[in-house]
Homo-oligomer: A and B are copies of this chain.
Amino acid sequence: MSRVVKLAVIPGDGIGPEVIAEAEKVLDAVTADSDVRFEKTRFSLGAGRFLETGDTLTDDDLAAITAQDAILLGAVGGTPGDPRLKDANIERGLLLKLRFTLDHYVNLRPSKLFVGAPGPLANPGEIDFVVVREGTEGPYVGNGGAIRVGTPQEVANETSVNTAFGVERVVRHAFQLAARRRQKLTLVHKTNVLVHAGAIWKRVVDEVATEHPEVAVDYLHVDAATIFLVTDPARFDVIVTDNLFGDILTDLAGAVTGGIGLAASGNINPDGTFPSMFEPVHGSAPDIAGQQKADPTAAILSIALLLDHLGFPAEAARVSDAVEADIAGRTGARSTAEIGSAITARL
């Protein structure tokens, strides 16, 4: 009995289409002889679409995407400073709109230093942790405004919104993940300054911790966490944190584990009410677009996260193993397609 998975594919802008082509190559190959079939629907979204039609994400797009089982996204965003995009906010209007509307409250970002991966640290040690970043609250809610804009009396505010409902569900997810891994969870926040937001995170973590006596709980201020990410990243197993701190920490984590060319992510709705979305952490990098210079590994590792999420752990492991083997054997420069084909060949 074969299972059909409806997959929305959003290649997006810049290097997005190139890396997604390789990710699809891997997905097709790894599922070729299996009992799952991916039925793909392509969506043309991003800065390119905006420039053509003026649309960022229409209600029709959203309805069609919501009807899928999962989403694979490349990267969205035009050339920085392009005057025609001045009034577009592709990030808020497309990427964040999908994350919020599809209730992607777990933004899952694994950080692993693969053998052979280049990295900036002299003595990185073993790096293998996962950041569970909250995806639907915090300073990302768009609860801001400004008065007297452009005058010397301007005041511009941004409000971080944190709810017990929202914090508890992501913290619970993080504890469950830690329980299945090395049983260590680190909350990262800034409780000494952001006292109200910090207090709710701290309290919820302390409460959920009582249900997981097997998990050792640690706390770090976000500033201190960045220090440990470069001096002792081996100390981390699962990090749970808010939307903004998670954004910052995962880019840094990507850098210390060999660059964001390798960093995959899942925007997950664990309840299954909405399709989850898988994407490389990197952006659209318009400066190298169309030149076959981008590393598709992050997009390919996003396929592993997608397969794992959909309940195909064996296929997911085959993808990660192929990536791991490919990285270990890297020597000279290869094109985007060469890397994709090499990984496909190792499946």
Contacts and interface: CB of A to CB of B under 8 A. Distances in A.
Interface of A: 89, 91-92, 96, 119-123, 139-140, 142, 144-146, 148-165, 168, 190, 192-197, 199-200, 203, 222-224, 226-227, 229-231, 244, 247-248, 250-252, 254-256, 259-260
21 contacts: A91-B192, A91-B193, A121-B121, A121-B230, A122-B122, A144-B195, A145-B196, A146-B200, A154-B163, A154-B200, A156-B162, A156-B196, A156-B200, A158-B159, A159-B159, A160-B160, A223-B251, A226-B248, A226-B251, A230-B255, A248-B248
A231 B120 contact: yes
A226 B200 contact: no
Given A139-B160, A199-B156, A200-B154, A144 B194 contact: yes
A152 to B, nearest CB: 5
Most chain B Cβ neighbours within 10 Å, of A145, A194, A224, A229: A194
B160 A157 contact: yes
Contacts of A197: 144, 156-158
A151 B139 contact: no
A223 B131 CA distance: 14
Most chain B Cβ neighbours within 10 Å, of A123, A158, A224, A256: A158
A158 B227 contact: no
Given A159-B159, A193-B96, A194-B144, A226 B199 contact: no
B224 A92 contact: no
A158 B248 contact: no
Contact of A152 (B119, B149, B165): B165
Given A192-B91, A248-B248, A158 B160 contact: yes
A169 to B, nearest CB: 11
Contacts of A120: 121-123, 230-231
A28 B19 CA distance: 62
A231 B229 CA distance: 14
A199 B146 contact: yes
Contacts of A150: 203
B160 A196 contact: no
A168 B78 CA distance: 29
A91 B195 CA distance: 11
Given A120-B121, A145-B196, 10 more contacts: A92-B193, A96-B193, A121-B122, A121-B230, A153-B165, A157-B197, A158-B196, A222-B248, A223-B250, A223-B252
Given A193-B92, A248-B226, A251-B224, A152 B139 contact: no
A114 to B, nearest CB: 17
B163 A227 contact: no
